[in-house]
Structure 1
Amino acid sequence: MSEVAQLATALGKRWGLDRALRDARATLAQQVVQLEQQAAELAANESRALHIASHDALTEAPNRVAFQRALAERARRPGSFAVAMLDLDRFKLVNDTIGHLAGDALLRAVCGQLQDAMPAGGMVARLGGDEFGLLYDTTGETAALATANALVAACSTTVTIFGQSVRGAASIGLVVAEAAGANDPCRLLRRADLALNDAKRHGRNCARLFDHELDESVRLRQRIEKGLSHAIERGELSIAFQPIVSGSAHEVVGFETLLRWDTQEYGPVSPAIFIPIAEESNLIHDLGDWVMERSLMAVKRFPGQYVSVNVSPRQFRRQNFVADVSARVQRAGVDPARVQIEITETAIFDDAEGAARTLDALRALGFRIALDDFGTGYSSLYNIRTFALDTLKIDRSFIEGMPRERESLAIVRSIVHLAHSLGLNVVAEGVETQGHVDLLRAAGASHLQGAYFSIPVNAAQAIGLAHRRWLAGMAPPLLARTGTDG
């Protein structure tokens, strides 16, 4: 019996051990499954984290980090490839007029269009804001530029956003890299960015290849900007005055004031060079204030004529612009009616509502308003009707073409007719010959300006012309040597 009891006890223990082993195996299997699930979740989370770290949240396109990594990897491989920077044209206008949600929708739509148009194997990345990076293989500059132009065209489509039609447009700057291992990614991006800036300067909605001269132009711009920052204190700036005449008797009714810069180091610098550079920096405000002060000093010495002062878009959009101009005129003791503010079409197009408020405020204070270079920008009949204007200034390019181009003459006649029907004055710029005078008089232009009467002169000579009051035309040699028109 004792043996049976011992056997039963052993079998009981064995059964208990087997059950414990089964339970342990089941627990272990369950833990293995849990570990596998946790590993899968960790892998998924890691994948999501990597995706988030390398992709743009709005468009789901690769971001700047991913683009720079891909560019570095591509630069180590053989074969030609293109690096391009794309920027949407006038994107701020969409945000300001329709809203940021519409701007986000436009960014997503443009990104999709770019991805559809990108060659196989190419990359579209959102670098930030409305800027995209493009990377694709190519056989050379001609092929790369053709692809870039196709991408520009892909963006130039109308998309419907929240029930409103929005016309997309983009500019591209690109550089083609040739030899493997000899391309620094940072340098390639900088050159593509220089080419993009060049595309913006040449009218937008286009693609521009990097040119080595752009590097030199950047250095020149830096030297000019540095020199401008000290130009006032060095006494290098001056004002030139060009008469504006009225009627068949050519009475001097006003003067356009023009900024001149004669540097100690390089001599005279053209306004066509330094004004755009100043416009891109805060220097334009200091220069504009200086010009306004000198113009007000001069007009006090004129026997009744007005001064017409050019105001850049950036100055015009300054928050306290109206109050600042009004305060300066009051301090100078000048009637606002003797001050004409000249603005470009760009200044009013970029923010139509804000521009209308500013113009209304200026007109309410008594200032004259002239729209400069009319016909070369974005103006429409609606714009002319909407904004508080006194004068349209016809761009000199149309005046130059009148004697030989029927189209230019027709445009001038149309502008004059439009202005007269709206009760506006017309100033024709760039009048250089008796032929110009005759054609403009026949077209009905009320005011003329140009070298035929006098090129820009200094303040003392302007005062002399103002007291003379009438100009017969064909400026004498003394005046012709004092500067250049415009």
Structure 2
Amino acid sequence: MNVLSTGGGALRRFTEIAVSWRLALLFGVPTAILVAMLVAERTGGASRAWNGVVLLAGIVLYCAAAISYVSREWQERRRLERLALTDSLCDLPNRRALHAESANEEADDAELAIALIDLDGFKLVNDFYGHSIGDRTVKAFAEVLVDLCGDSARAYRLGGDEFAIVAKGPLAGNILEGICRRVLARLASPLMVEHRAIGLGASIGLARAQPGRGASSSNLLRQADVATSVAKARGKGRLTWFNEDFDRDRAEHQAIDLDLRAALDREELQVHYQPLIDCTTGRVSAVEALLRWERPDGMRIGPDKFIPIAEETGLIEAIGLWVLRRACRDARDWHGIKVSVNVSVAQLRNTQFPLQLGQILEETGFPAERLELELTETFLVGDPLVAGRNLEMLRDFGVGIVLDDYGTGYASIGFLRRFRFEKLKLDRSLIVDAAGDSATRTVMSSSVEMAKALGMQVTAEGIETELQASLARNAGCDQMQGWLYSKAVPAADLERQLAIQNEQLAKIEHLPVRPIAAKKLG
């Protein structure tokens, strides 16, 4: 926090008052003496010798006053400059000091290395213990940092839970990396703050400028910040050196983000549907809505690339609502076919989502009992109480809740009992491994039995071979989904599949064919 911007007005006012009084005293006295001397001379009340003495005394006092004023002003300015360059909580140099000092070091043409440290889990400390303990935790970490830096490097607090370390000179990068590794090792044990054991981690990004390459401190700090983001994305609790690929990735990231926003505005996105096959009848009983993006130049961008970007930028909520609305419109006349739509964590955490869901169901006329919302356990494990309440609000509309990717996370029997999903989808990896491993087959069969006991249907995802299909049927799965049966296809293609299925069913049962309404894809 910059002391000149917070409380700076009061400080400046106080300084102005102090300076004005000092000026009055320091310059007023000599001036009064000179005036008195002139008056005395005019009235003949003093000799010329005495006037000379008084004049000399006045000049001396005047010079002394000027020197004293300049000295005090210089001291005051130095004090304010120090305050402006120092973090008030930790008494460490701040971001402004880092840039000022690094600018001087850049001119020395020596190797310069910067590490940016972002504390993992600090928000939980503030939320659980309060900001007072949070501040003490920051101070405790600052002391650790100063101790580990010693005389080899200099520590800074940039604000909040962000710190920096700067090393300069030969092998600066090696020295800095060694310090950062000791920081991570130190944080492996809790910090003791007022008899409390506070557990923290750190994500650390490092960047360096070799002698003669002239990188500014602001650019080095930016590179370290990028590397910190990469460290967090790779699992936190680690250090990562910046490399040029990170900038290329971010440029691509930004380009995709801008193109994705334009595609959403122009409705260039598409929803395809992958059939779910009933294990008993072999017919399509449900479909999963899957988002697809083909740019005007014909280039296809995979969801594994653009969905994470949409989640990071916050665009995922708008995209999620668009997919939900489109799926409900497309599937309204697919009688007897349920539709599964993936719902993001951001949507589920949005208190307005139940209202948005209700509006879409009313607007499209889609029956709520035919809609299934697929979610992953990421949303559930963060705050189970809030998650449980939100799911019940969604169930009040009559929709089904499906747990996707089961077998890849931490979901336990207690977890499944608590949330009572309508359906469980076994992850493709479980199906693939079960084909060649008896232990995995046992796990898969046990998972299906457990889900059945809790009243859940089970879908096997990623079925690509007859062997996998046979394993899923023998394990007791209700539905199968995968390329063995069909890839995700546009709504018009799916309608043709459903029409053929209805015709075949009508021939078998000697029933009139129920037409499937063909709709235009907008």
Q: The TM-score by the shorter chain falls in which range?
A: 0.7 to 0.9
SS at match of 1:280: helix
CA positional deviation for 1:317: 1.9
Moved more, 290-299 or 195-204: 195-204
Pick from 82, 85, 90 the counterpart of residue 113 of structure 2: 82
**Correspondence for 2:223:** 191
User: Does 2:353 match 1:348?
Assistant: no
- Secondary structure (helix, strand or coil) at the match of 2:363 reads helix
SS in 1 for 2:392: helix
**Which residue of the partner structure matches residue 320 of structure 1?**
352
- CA distance, structure 2, for counterparts of residue 415 and residue 369 of structure 1: 18
- Within-5 A mapping of 1:157-306: 157-159=189-191, 167-180=199-212, 182-265=214-297, 267-306=299-338
2:431 to 383, 389, 399: 399
Distance 1:210 1:244, change over 3 A: same
Q: Deviations over 1:130-154 (max 9, x none)?
A: 3222323573767755654443343
What's the secondary structure of 2:488's corresponding residue? Answer: coil
| 8 A contact 1:346–1:378 mirrored in 2 | no
Max Rg structure: 2
Query: Among residues 90, 102, 105, which one is paired with 1:71 in the alignment?
Result: 102
TM-fit CA distance, 1:261: 0.7
CA shift digits 1:439-465 (9 cap, x unpaired): 334444443322122111111222344
| Equivalent residues of 2:166, 2:176 under 8 A apart | no
Report the secondary structure of 1:309's partner residue. Answer: strand
Shift in Å, 1:411: 5.1
Q: Report how far residue 324 of structure 1 moved.
A: 0.8
State the TM-score, normalizing by the size of structure 1: 0.78
**Match for 1:371 among 403, 413, 422?**
403
Q: CA deviation at 1:264?
A: 1.2
Q: TM-score, normalised by structure 2?
A: 0.73
Verify: 1:126 aligned to 2:157, yes or no.
Answer: yes
- What number of residue pairs does the alignment pair up? 441
- Give the stretch that moved more between structures: 155-164 or 292-301: 155-164
Match of 2:339 among 289, 292, 307: 307
Bigger Cα displacement from structure 2, 195-204 vs 317-326: 195-204
8 A Cα contact 2:205 2:239, kept in partner: yes
Determine helix, strand or coil for the equivalent of 1:365.
coil
CA distance in 2, matches of 1:291, 1:171: 35
Q: 1:110-169 deviations in whole A, cap 9, x for unaligned?
A: 444444444642233222233222323573767755654443343344456788765422
Specify the code of the residue in structure 2 equivalent to 1:216: R
Query: Is residue 374–residue 393 contact of structure 1 (8 Å, CA) maintained in 2?
Result: yes
Give the corresponding residue for 1:20: none
Alignment check: 8 A CA contact 2:373 2:399 kept: yes
Closer, same or farther: CA 379–326 of 1 in aligned 2, 3 Å: same
CA separation in 2, counterparts of 1:407 and 1:61?
A: 56
2:109 and 2:214 in contact (8 A); partners too:
no
Aligned counterpart for 1:462 among listed residues 482, 489, 494: 494
Task: Check whether the contact 1:254–1:307 (CA below 8 A) recurs between aligned residues.
Answer: yes
SS at match of 2:486: coil
What is the Cα deviation at residue 244 of structure 1? 2.3
Range 222-231 or range 276-285, more displaced = 276-285
C-alpha displacement of 1:294: 0.6
Q: Percent identity?
A: 33
Q: How does 1:50-129 map to 2 (within 5 A)?
A: 50-96=81-127, 99-118=130-149, 120-129=151-160
- Which secondary structure does the structure 1 equivalent of 2:214 belong to? coil
Cα deviation for residue 103 of structure 1 reads: 4.0
Please list the CA deviations of residues 168-215 of structure 1 after superposition, one character each: whole Å capped at 9, or x if unmatched.
222222223221461222221221122222222223232222121121
What is the CA distance between 1:269 and its match in structure 2?
0.7
Name which of structure 1's ranges 135-144 and 245-254 shifts more when overlaid on structure 2.
135-144
